[in-house]
Amino acid sequence: MGGAVSAGEDNDELIDNLKEAQYIRSELVECAFRAIDRADYYLEEFRDSAYKDLAWRHGNIHLSAPCIYSEVMEALDLQPGLSFLNLGSGTGYLSTMVGLILAMSKILKSYLKATDKEAVIKGPFGVNHGVELHADVIDYAHQKLDCFIKTSDSFDRFEFCEPSFVMGNCLEIGPESRQYDRVYCGAGVQREHEDYMRNLLKVGGILVLPLEEKLTKITRTGYNTWETKKIIAVSFAPLVLPKHRENGKPRTVPLPAMFEVRSLQDLSRISIRTTLKKSVSGSWPLPRRVGFRGRSRAKQRREHRDSTLLTNRYVFMSRLIPGPLNDNHHPGTDDEEDDCRGVCEREEDEVEDEEDGRRKEGRVLLTEAPVNLLRERILSLPLPEPLKMYLLYYREK
């Protein structure tokens, strides 16, 4: 399924094509698609096909066509703080885009509409769960999620409602399980399972699923009332029916906890990252605005490099803050800071000559700002005393 739009040379050009063909219609969905590179979810030997509007499958690993994901994201009408359940979560590509919107949609909306420059959401919040049948696909999704968190520029720009994946058959979720605001099923559903899927929704919730060869949006308008809308014709592999157990007892899929309690260290890092985003580089760059058809591709690439430069400055500054302790219960070494500084300086040297003034300004920030000055600034923030003492210990080391 797919092939509705032309192939792109990169992720941004693919999104441009989807927008031009009206598969992507809202700026919020467009920002989420631009923030996640589709090719990152392909195996390396298949990356050349990542920007075609085609589905991809390798063994149990599967990605739907970009035009399908576009329609799904638009139909879900995601909002901040909602709970989302992805049935057949696969590689985690869709769940990762959803995670950005759940935590950041108000910021993106205020930026795009230019009506509320002070809007800030402290995240992450919302609920982002996935159920996947195959253990190898769960492992693959965890690898891609870990790579996104450690290497993606978008993770440093935005807050993120991290998805949680569990293994099991989505038709074995217990009838007493919790309900969600938004549900998506990534496998073909027959009419006899429609009521089962509907019961996973809260009142006011939205379910998007392939129902008898049609991508369908079902809105729960009341306890026993529903609105149904057919979107486009699709072709999905059917749901795998549960296997009968020998003892005859039903098997139930244990869904993740609705709200997880984060450690003090996680909460401290979230607070520090948020502060650094606002203080180190001012307003943080968001995914590129739409309407690039009137601009040259070279100018778009310059804007992307400038955004990457700002990201690397932030990554350098944020890594001066201690993260998870190593095996000896000590923070990272000075060598790691030197490596990070070197990466940032090399990125600056690649900026074009017309950006020379800005590049020099960045080099001063990276090479002349004393490390202790940044730590003193953090210590002056209204942080809990135990955290200040921890940072003080790290500074003196």
Specify whether 127 is located in the same domain as 216. yes
Of the candidates 133, 120, 140, the residue with the CA atom closest to the CA atom of residue 172? 133
Closest CA to 223 of 256, 190, 199, 196: 199
The whole-chain average pLDDT of the chain stands at: 75
Q: Which of 233, 250, 273 is the last residue of a domain?
A: 233
The reply to whether 101 falls in a domain is yes
Report the alpha-carbon angle 8-9-14, nearest 5. Answer: 30
* pLDDT tens-place string over residues 25-56: 998 899 899 999 999 999 999 999 999 999 99
Rounded-to-integer distance, Cα 331 and Cα 138, Å:
30
Say if 251 falls within a structural domain. Answer: no
* pLDDT exceeds 80 at position 227: yes
Residue 229: strand pairing partners: 217
In a domain, 222, yes or no: yes
Residues 235, 209: contact at Cβ < 8 Å?
Answer: no
- HEC readout, 61-121: EEECCHHHHHHHHHHHCCCCCCEEEEECCCCCHHHHHHHHHHHHHHHHHHHHHCCCCCCCC
Give the count of domains, the chain.
2
> Is residue 377 scored above 70 in pLDDT?
no
pLDDT in tens, 3-17: 778 788 999 999 999
In this prediction, residue 252 carries a pLDDT of: 87
Does position 311 have pLDDT exceeding 80, yes or no?
no
| 249 is a domain residue | no
224 located within any domain: yes
Q: How many CA atoms lie within 13 A of 120 on its CB side?
A: 9
Which SS3 state, helix, strand or coil, does residue 279 take? helix
pLDDT at 226 over 80: yes
Question: Is residue 133 one of the residues assigned to a domain?
Answer: yes
The answer to the question of residue 254 being in a domain is no
Q: Is 392 helix (H, G, I), strand (E, B) or coil?
A: helix
Q: Which amino acid is at 373?
A: L
Indicate if the pLDDT at residue 168 is higher than 70.
yes
- Same domain for 328 and 386, yes or no, is yes
Residues 206 and 99 in one domain: yes
Catalytic residue from among 49, 64, 110, 296: 64
Q: Are residues 227 and 268 in the same domain?
A: no
In the predicted model, is pLDDT for residue 274 greater than 70?
no
The answer to whether residue 178 scores a pLDDT higher than 90 is: no
We report the CATH number of the domain holding residue 92 as 3.40.50.150
Same domain for 48 and 183: yes
Average pLDDT over residues 210-238: 95
Domain limits for position 80: 11-233
Same-domain check for residues 118 and 223:
yes
- Percent over 70 (pLDDT), the chain: 58
Q: How confident is the model at residue 294 (pLDDT cuts 50, 70, 90)?
A: very low
Statement to judge: residues 95 and 23 lie in one domain: yes
CB 209, CB 185: distance < 8 Å: yes
Check whether residue 128 and residue 203 sit in a common domain: yes
* Predicted pLDDT at 166: 95
- Report the pLDDT averaged over residues 322-343: 46
What tens digit of pLDDT does each residue of 335-347 get? Answer: 544 554 554 455 4
Same structural domain, 15 and 156? yes
Q: Are residues 63 and 145 in the same domain?
A: yes
Does residue 122 register a pLDDT over 90? no
Alpha carbon distance 310, 93 (integer Å): 25
- The yes-or-no answer on residue 64 being catalytic is yes
User: Within this chain, do residues 324 and 201 fall inside the same structural domain, yes or no?
Assistant: no
Same domain, yes or no, for 81 and 205? yes
Asked, for residue 4, whether it belongs to a domain, the answer is no
Distance CA 28, CA 74 (A): 9
Tell me the Ramachandran region of residue 237: left when phi exceeds 0, alpha when psi lies from -120 to 50, beta otherwise.
beta
